Every structure is written in C-alpha cells, then in structure tokens.
Chain A
Amino acid sequence: MAKSHKPIVWGPFAAGGTFSAFFNPVLILITGILVPLGAMSLSYERAHAFADNWIGKLILFGFIVLPAWHAAHRARITVHDFGLRADILMATVFYATAAVLTVLSAVALLKI
C-alpha cells in the first residue's frame, strides 16, 4: 500500500492554523492598526527588550513561522482551487517563501 506523507503535513498545518486563529487577529490589530494610529506604542527600547531573551525570541519566532507555513500550505491548495494546475511549481514557490521567512526571522532574532 502506498504510504501517504499527508499526516506529516497535516500536523503542522493544524497547529499553525489554530495558533494563527488565536493570535493573528490581535497581532494584526496591534502592529498594523493601533500602533500606526498612535493608540498604542511599540518603542524601540520595549520591542528590543522583548526580543532580548530566549522566551521573547521563541514567541516572536512562533508568531512568524507557524502562520507562515500554515499559509504556504493553504495557498498551495487554494491556487489549485482557483484553476491554477501547476502543483509542483506552486508548492515550490510557497514552501520556499515560508522557508525564506523562517531563515530571515531566525537570523534577525539571533542578531538581537
């Protein structure tokens, strides 16, 4: 019987989706709306202090990596639903994007 690799993909997908469902609305609200409008402030000192220890780094890394891989996997499926029948190419593009974001955010966090 052919083995499926789907359970391996599904685990992180479900984890990323649940994580994203709980955290993304409030994160987008803070960094994208409240801070730019001046209702909140995320000064350099406070942001830097938050990312200056391993717990903060791990939290920020999770905020980026889990939703990024979740979105990449879903985007791969969604473009197929929109009639774009090029799965190998699209899977490569989306997973590569998630991989680049993973590396860039890890490098940035390690520099702080």
Chain B
Amino acid sequence: MSRKPYVRPIPKTSWFMRQGRYKRYMAREVTCLFIGAYTAVLTVGLMRLAESEAAYNAFLTALKAPGSILFHVVAFLFAVYHSSTWFNVTHQAMPIQRGDEFVAPGVIVGTHYAIWAVVSLVVLLVAGV
C-alpha cells in the first residue's frame, strides 16, 4: 500500500454542479421537499375541515394568497418532473420478461403514462371540474 495515497478532492456541497446528469439527479431529489411540504398543507386543510366550516373557508382563502399559488405552481412543476423522470426509467427499473423476450421499453413507459393520464382525469372528475 502506498504511504501517500492520492485522494481526489471532491467538494462536499457542490459536487453535483460539475455534470449535467448530477444536476438532474439532485433536481429530482429536491422534488421531495416540495412534495413533503404539500403533504403538510393537505394535513392543515384536513384539520381545518375537521374543525369547522369557518376554519375550512379561512383555509381556502389562505390558499388564494399569491405566495401560496406561487409555491403550488413550483411544487406542481417539481411533481411533474418527479413523475415523468420515474416513468421514463420504469423499463429499466422493472423490466418485464415474456418467454425469451423482454417487453419493449416503449410499452412499459407508455402504459405508465396512460395510467397517469387516467388517474389524473378520474381525480379531476371526482373533485368536480
């Protein structure tokens, strides 16, 4: 063993800025903060709903604040990024084998997008467009 092994210096807080793929990885990881914050917003909404009609309506009014709408627009974009980046790699994360052949990547990815579209549509209909 060498007495002075070379240790490549890697900046602990900015290592991901060196490559596009690292940046995209970190952008995807950061989506969790927005999704986590949104679950807190939903929890507050449920607490207000359980409290009283006046409390729930005050919650709806608070959601109309420009800051709130801005947060939700950013959170929505991050959520879409999280969804599409996951669906795009599903054929690698969970390949399906039929006999000797693997199901074509496009079929697996396409099915996920189709289910996503149906799920979104159903939620919109149930919520009452």
Contact = CB atoms under 8 A, between A and B. Distances in A.
A74 B83 CA distance: 15
Given A21-B82, A22-B83, A33 B36 contact: no
A78 B29 contact: yes
Interface of A: 17-18, 20-33, 35-37, 40-42, 44, 46-48, 51, 60, 63-65, 67-68, 70-72, 74-75, 77-78, 81-83, 85, 97-98, 101, 104-105, 107-109, 111-112
Interface residues of B, number: 49
Interface in B79-128: 79-80, 82-83, 86-87, 115-116, 119-120, 123-124, 127-128
A18 B86 contact: yes
Ranked 7 nearest A-B pairs via Cβ: A32-B72, A71-B36, A83-B13, A83-B12, A74-B32, A26-B120, A111-B50
B38 A24 contact: yes
A76 B71 CA distance: 22
Q: Is the interface of A mostly helix, strand, loop or mixed?
A: helix
Contact of A108 (B30, B47, B116): B47
